[in-house]
Amino acid sequence: MESLIVLSIIIPWVFALTVYLAKNDFVTNSLSYLLLPILAFFAIELFFGTLPVYIHTSKILDILMDVYDFGLLFFFLYVGIKYKNSLVISLAILQITLLIMALIMMPHSDTPNIFVDKLSAFIYVIVALVGVPIVIYATKYMDYNEKNKHTFVAILLWFLGVMNFAVSVNNIEWFFALFETTTLASYALISFRKDEEAINNGILALWMNQIGGVAILIALILMIKYNGYYHFTDILNHPKTVAIAALGFLSLSALVKGAQMPFHKWLLGAMVAPTPVSAILHSATMVKIAPYLLLRIAPVIKGTLLAKLLIITTGYVFVVAAIIALTQDNFKKILAYSTISLLGLMMLAAVVGTPIALTASLVLIVFHAFAKGFLFVEAGVLEKAFHVKYIKQMRRLVERAPITLMFIFFGFLNMTFVPFGTFIGKWMMIEEVSNFLHHGSYIILILYVGAGSAFLSILYMKVLGISVRKAHGIERIKPIKLPITFNFVSVWYYLWLLVITIFIAPFIANEIVPIANMIAGNSANIHAIGLSLQMNHSILYFWQILGALILLLLIHALPYFVKFKADIVHPYNCGERFPRYIETWNFECLSKYENYLIAFSIALFIMVVVLGGGLL
Amino acid sequence: MISVILTIFAPILGGFVYGIERIVRARMQSRMGPPLMQPFYDFFKLMDKRPIMIHSFHALMGIMYFIAEWFALAVLLLGNDLLIAVFFHVIAVLALVIGASSVRSSYSVLGALRELMHMISYEPLMVLMVVSFYLVVGSFDIKDVLHYNGYPILDLPLVFIAFLLTIPMLLQKSPFDVAEAHQEIIGGPEIEYSGPFYEALYTGKWIEYIYVFTFAFLFGGSHYWLGAILVIFAFLFINLLDNSTARLDFRRMVKFAWIVLIPMAALNVILLALI
């Protein structure tokens, strides 16, 4: 078991180094393809193996980690000085000071530093099945007028290794190091094109995530001062005594990493980078640290004031990000806002903390990872093969890029409709929260989930609406042939989503629920009856799952195959001349409130830290 | 057993409801109105017409709308979870909106976008209504609601009123017939359908009648007479409203739903939960 864990972490680092040094097409391509079965095998072996595993590490590694920490922070300082950004500089200095303080105060602890339980293995699986295909995709993507392909792929590979490492550490100081390493990786990726905009956005991502790092360090210091321990397992073993302020700061770092408003700008900035960057940040790595961290500490913060404030904040982001997404016209930006929105929902579910809510959160993580990876991959295909970036350029996509549009359609369906996982997550949340209405007003949460999902649905329908519009009387356009790598990755995601959805009941009941049970310490009342899913007294029958799936499959795929034998006419349009192009609504009436909405989110954010952290 | 029959014959039943509605509406305007069977006469006439379409995608979506609507009703009546049934309704909306957006017709596209505004208005309220049923009955199961011995309407008066005012949004009745708006955008999503394909859309609307009034029926609990009274009341009220009001702007509709209806329903749920 230990060796599997070490290999899952080390192999991506080794591959990354090889790719970086070799700078050879064959090496890059074959190693990326090779990583998929290797990591998938390790992750699945681990997931079904005997967990948790504790690994004691030697003292030398501890010291190495400290050295690495300082190296990292001094690098941030260097970046700040190089680009003359006072925020990065001052945050880096603050981090260095706090880190020195923490290291001086830190007592010796015998708790093992590496700790892998089912939750970590769950993230391993996502990294392997969702993250690696993006690297494979990047090997082809970078062939289209992009420079430094090998460096790029190397950073992506390394990122996967960092992510695997980050979810397996127990020591919070180490967690800080890896948290900031993901920050470094995202900085390197976002500013990859090295033009002015890219560097600005990279710096933005850097300092925003540095704030998260500062919050972790403060949490670490508080924990050492008041409790004398600084390991996740110790926190979980002493749920009553943990300093609530420390938990407040940990949650703050999760909110920053999860790009919750007002810290959402860095994730939006990621769209200037090559599309695989967005794909990897949004799906398998980086932002998923946020719900992961909250899931880790969920049993401790459950039911506290902190948890309630977090619910209000993340739920607010869920709705507001969906509303702002309506006003955007850049396809990648729309996807980014919907990620921010759904991350809000994941964290909300994690914070509610009952076994069923935790299950909902985990289900959302899996499905969001697959669907968002899928959608960003398709966004990249659109960009490179069809030169489409804005939704107004997406018109007649149904004729120009039928297969790609079909994939996008399927991805969108996954984000909101019955019977896909995102729907299941919302369904579980609403039914679970309905039980607490008797104790206090969780009613706002129901409204959040109901409203947010309605807004997301209309967002996707709006985008689809413009791309399915067909011209009339134009000869069929020959579809462009796509590279085999693109098709492989698309079909990979498509099939996974389809298979998991068909077997969603056993998948949730047998694979996801045990993780939630392990985190919560008691068992969720979710069972699979055959292929039907039972939660408490409610049943989602298999005939419903299958029926909805068939309906949606017919809606998104059938139009390409069905040709009715009927006379074809021009649109009637009330006898008027029909327009060549029709735009869509841009919801200008909402965009003027954007600043107010963000301002309110800042207020909520401060409230989480001050009241939730018990600083008053 | 009844629910199976109801599901299977929903299109026919919905047709009769529509026929009755046309008579009631006519009588309210001191007209005679068409015969009860008029929707079915229309049905046969439309089926007999030469099939004409813009393109297959569009025509297919009309048919998918009909099937999805029927399936949503089946989930509501034969399944056991009200919340799932509410989410199933979105699939029907998807088919309608995608179909209407796929043609180059300004009226159709405008109708589709307005249809989305309808969804934003009623969807959160439907969720809230289902949750309020849960609070009263203690279950999301439609069978438990129908076996509940109390009177849900007494616990949920504000939710019922909110739902009553949502029905015009669901069934495209004045003052909230924004998406269809016959005098303005000539039927919106349905303008480009004709012949048998229009028939599919038309029949889908009949099924929606059954879907919506089933929810009104649930407010009676196990007292089916009460449920029947509520349905008849809702039916007459909606027609009266339809006859006596002018169409509102879609912004007003969304505002009304979000500023008046949802807080009203939420207030009821909060009071119920606390007491």
- Residue A233 located in a structural domain: no
Counting one residue from chain A and one from chain B, the pairs whose CB atoms sit within 8 A come to 213
A182 part of a folded domain: no
Q: Which of A600-604, B54-58, B88-92 has the lowest mean pLDDT?
A: B54-58
Is A438 in Cβ contact with B75 (below 8 Å)?
no
DSSP run (H or E) holding A119: helix A118-126
CA distance linking residue A287 with residue A254, whole number of Å: 9
| Cβ–Cβ under 8 Å, residues A363 and A424 | yes
Token pair 């139009």: residue: A559
If pLDDT is split at 50, 70 and 90, which confidence band does A566 have? confident
- pLDDT band per the 50, 70, 90 thresholds, residue A477: low
A216 falls within a domain? no
Domain count, chain A: 1
Residue A286 maps to a domain: no
- The answer to which of A74-83, A173-182, A394-403, B212-221 has the lowest mean pLDDT is A394-403
Q: What is the mean pLDDT of residues A63-74?
A: 90
Q: Is the pLDDT of residue A480 over 80?
A: no
Asked whether B179 and B189 are in contact (CB, 8 A), the reply is yes
Q: Is A575 on the interface with B (CB under 8 A)?
A: no
Chain A CA closest to residue B100:
A465
pLDDT tens for A225-274 read 888 888 888 888 887 778 888 888 888 888 888 888 888 888 888 888 88
pLDDT of residue B251: 86
Domain assignment present for A257: no
Read off the DSSP letter of residue B53: E
Q: Which residues pair with A330 in a beta bridge?
A: A390
**Residue A551 contacts B, CB cutoff 8 Å:** yes
Nearest to A579 by CA among B232, B107, B106, B253: B106
Chain A residues whose CB is inside 8 A of the B98 CB are: 461, 464-465, 468, 555
Length of chain B: 275
pLDDT over 80 (residue A218): yes
Q: Could you say which residues from 378 to 417 on chain A have a Cβ atom under 8 Å away from some Cβ of chain B?
A: 398, 416-417
> Considering the domain boundaries, does residue A269 fall inside one?
no
pLDDT at A361: 92
Confidence of residue B47 (pLDDT cuts 50, 70, 90): confident
A473 pLDDT more than 60: no
User: Is the pLDDT at A475 greater than 60, yes or no?
Assistant: no
Share of chain B above pLDDT 90, in %: 14
- Whether the per-residue pLDDT at A277 is higher than 80: the answer is yes
Contact A398 B102 (CB under 8 A): yes
Q: What are phi and psi of A487, to 5 degrees?
A: -65, -40
Whether A606 contacts B133, CB under 8 Å: no
**What pLDDT score does A476 carry?**
62
Q: What angle do CA B62, B68, B74 make, to 5 degrees?
A: 145
User: Is residue A287 assigned to a domain?
Assistant: no
Q: Cα angle vertex A426, ends A420, A428, to 5°?
A: 100
| pLDDT above 60: residue A512 | yes
For the record, the structure tokens of A350 come out as: 């994690």
Is B40 near chain A, with CB under 8 Å? no
Percent of chain B whose predicted confidence (pLDDT) is above 70: 100
Contact B5/A at CB under 8 A = no
| pLDDT score for A588 | 80
Query: What gap in Å lies between CA A498 and CA B192, rounded to an integer?
Result: 33
More confident site: A525 or A573:
A525
Q: Does B63 touch chain A (CB under 8 A)?
A: no
What end-to-end distance do the CA atoms of chain B give, in Å? 37
Q: Is the pTM of this model over 0.80?
A: yes
B191 touches chain A (CB under 8 A): yes
Answer yes or no: do B128 and A544 touch at CB < 8 A: no
Q: Given this model, what pLDDT does residue A228 score?
A: 82
Which of A276, A480, A496 is closest to A376 using CA atoms?
A: A276
Per mean pLDDT, which range of A374-388, A486-500, A601-615 is the poorest? A601-615
Average pLDDT (A440-444) is 72
At residue A438, does pLDDT exceed 80? no
A534: left (phi over 0), alpha (psi -120 to 50) or beta: beta
- Report the pLDDT value the prediction gives residue A304, as an integer from 0 to 100: 82
Q: Which is nearest to A130 in space by CA: A373, A354, A368?
A: A373
Q: Which domain holds residue A327?
A: 303-562+581-616
**Do the Cβ atoms of A340 and A313 come closer than 8 Å?**
no
**Of B80, B104, B251, Cβ closest to residue A582:** B104
Whether residue A274 is preceded by a cis peptide bond, meaning omega within 30 degrees of 0, is no
User: Any idea of the CA torsion for A9, A14, A17, A22, to the nearest 10 degrees?
Assistant: -150
Alpha-carbon gap, residue A325 to A327, rounded angstroms: 5
pLDDT at A472: 64
CB < 8 Å to B64, chain A = 551, 554-555, 558
Nearest Cα residue in chain A from B144: A537
Which residue, A163, A201, A138, is CA-closest to A288? A163
Model pLDDT, residue A478: 66
Would you state the pLDDT for residue A370?
92
Q: Which residues contact A63 (CB under 8 A, 6 or more apart)?
A: none
Position A363 confidence tier, pLDDT thresholds 50, 70, 90: very high
Q: What mean pLDDT value characterizes chain A?
A: 86
How far is Cα A79 from Cα A85, in angstroms, rounded to an integer?
Answer: 8
Q: Which residue of B has its CA nearest to A456?
A: B120
**Does A446 lie at the interface with B, CB-CB under 8 angstroms?**
yes
Residue B260 has pLDDT above 70, yes or no: yes
Q: Does the beta-carbon distance from B91 to A552 stay under 8 Å?
A: yes
Residue A439 has a pLDDT of 65
pLDDT for A474 beyond 60: no
Is A613 contained in some domain? yes
